[in-house]
Amino acid sequence: MAEAKAKKGLSLTTMILIGTIGGIVFGSLVGPWASNLKFIGDIFIRLIQMSVVLLVMTAVMTAIAKMDIGAGKMAFHTFKWILGFTIFSAFLGLGLGLVIRPGAGITVAAAEDIGPLAITGSIQEALLGFVPVNIIGAMSTGDMVACILFSIFFGVAMGAYARTSGKTVILEAVESINGIIMNIVKAVMKIAPIGIFCLLANVAGDTGFAVIIPMVKFLGALLIGNIIQFLVYFPMAAAICKVNPLKMPQKFAKMSIMAVTTTSSAICLPTKMEDTVVKFGVSRRVTDFTGPITMSMNSNGAVMCYVIAILFMSQSTGIALDPFQLGMAILLSIMMCMGTIVVPGGMVITYTFLATSMGLPLESIAILIGIDWFAGMFRTLMNVDADVLVSMLVSNKLGDLDRDVYNGLKTVEYVQS
C-alpha cells in the first residue's frame, strides 16, 4: 500500500500549494531579479487562455441543452430560488469586496501600462455589444459576453432539436469537444505549479512577503460572506418552511464536512440528495429534480467568490471600476455559474474568463490560484448547503415537505434508483 502511494506522488493541489509558498519565499529573498521568471508564468497563462473560449462555450451549451424544463411548477420555483440566492450572494460579494478591499496594498501591474477596460460606455452600448455580428469574430477577439449569449441560444435550440427530433448527434459532438478541451486543460495544469511559482516569484520580488496580506484578506472576505449567508438563509428558509432552524447545523454536518474536505459539489451530490430526503423531509421527486440542477446552477458560494475576485484584480492594479462596470461584474459572475468547469484547476478558466471579459490584467490570477484550494472550501460549503435549502423551499411550496422527518419523529429511507 505504501509503495502504491509513493508511486502516486503528490496531488496537483499539494504541488500548487508548494509552488505558491516557494514562489513567495524565492521572490522575497531574490528580489527584482525574480522578474526574469515571469515569462514562464506568462506561457502558462497563455496556454490556459487558448482553451477558455471553447471550454466555456461548450460547457454552457451542454448545460442549457440538457436542462429539463418540462417539470412546470417545480422548475419555476427551483429557478426562482436559485436566481434569488445567486443575486443576493453576488451583491454580498460586491459589498465585501468594496469594504475589505482584498487587492489593495499590492500592485501586480501598473494601471498606466494597461489598456482601456473591455466593458465601458453606456448601458445601450453594452447591450448592443452583447449581440455578436459574427460569432467567429467574437471568439477570435475573446468577446466572452457575446460568446456566452450565443452559447445560451445555441444550447436552447440544440436541446429543443434533440427532444423533438430524437437526434442527439450535435449534442454529443459538443459534449465531445468539451471533453477534448478539458483534456487539454488537464495537460496544461500539470505545469501549473511551475507557472504559479514563476508568477508569484515575480510579484513577491517587488513586494516581498506583503503579498500574503491580500491572500488572507481574500479568504477572510469569503469566510465573512459565508457566515452572513448562513445567518440570512437558515432563518429565512426555516421561517418559510415552518421548521426549527436550530436543528439545521446538525443535519448539515455530514455534507458540510464532505464539502470542505473534497471542495467538490459533484462528489457531495449523492450524500446531499440522501440527506435532503432522510434528514430534511424533502420528497424524493423534488430531490431528484432539484439535486442535480442546483449542483450545476445554484453556485451562490461561487458567484460571491467570482465578484470578489474581479474586485481583487481591479484593486491590485489600481483600476477603479465605475458603477456600470461593477454591475457588469455581477452579471458576468452570474452568467459564469451556468457552465460549471469540473476539471482540476477549473477556477483558472473562470478567473481567466472574468479577467478577459472585463479587460483586466491576468497577473493577479496567480495569487488567486495559489489560494484556490482554501477558497474552494468556502465556495463548496455554501454551494452544497444552499442547494438543500432550495430543495426544502420548493418541497414546501408544493406541499410535500415532511416535517415529521425533519423533526426526527419519522424515519424514511433513500433508495438509489
CA distance 351 to 369: 9
The answer to whether residue 69 sits within a structural domain is: yes
**Mean local confidence (pLDDT), 311-330:** 86
Q: Looking at the domain assignment, is residue 112 inside a domain? A: no
Whether the Cβ atoms of residue 155 and residue 63 lie closer than 8 Å to each other? yes
Exposure b/e, 224-257, CB count within 10 A at least 16 = b: ebbebbbeebbeebbeebebeeeebeebbeebbe
Residue 339's pLDDT is 52
Higher pLDDT, residue 157 or 1? 157
Q: Which residues, 6+ apart, have CB-to-CB distance to 341 below 8 Å?
A: 55, 56, 59, 347, 349, 350
Q: Is residue 416 part of a domain?
A: no
Helix %, strand %, coil % of the chain (to 5):
80, 0, 20
Is residue 1 in some structural domain? no
What range does the domain containing 272 cover? 10-106+121-406
82 contacts 391 by C-beta, under 8 angstroms? no
304 in any annotated domain: yes
Give the number of domains in the chain.
1
Residue 214 grid coordinates? 491580500
pLDDT in tens, 187-213: 887 888 898 888 888 877 776 777 788
Least confident segment among 29-43, 50-64, 302-316: 50-64
CATH of the domain at 318: 1.10.3860.10
Domain annotation covers residue 96: yes
Instruction: Provide the pLDDT for residue 231.
Output: 95
Q: Which three cell numbers stand for residue 269?
A: 451530490
C-alpha grid cell, residue 387: 442547494
Q: pLDDT class for 413, splitting at 50, 70, 90?
A: confident
Higher pLDDT, 230 or 348: 230
Burial 157-185 (b: 16+ CB within 10 A, else e): ebbeebeeeeeeebbeebbebbeebbebb
* 411 within some domain: no
CA–CA gap between residue 385 and residue 248 (Å, rounded): 10
DSSP state of 339: S
In the chain, the percentage of residues whose pLDDT exceeds 90 is 19
Q: CB neighbours (10 Å) of residue 312? A: 30
Separation in Å, CA 85 to CA 41, 322, 354, 386 = 36, 25, 21, 8
Domain for residue 387, yes or no? yes
pLDDT digits (tens, 9 = 90+) for 356-409: 878 787 777 878 887 887 888 898 899 899 999 999 999 999 888 889 989 988
Q: DSSP labels for 165-190?
A: H---HHHHHHHHHHHHHHHHHHHHHT
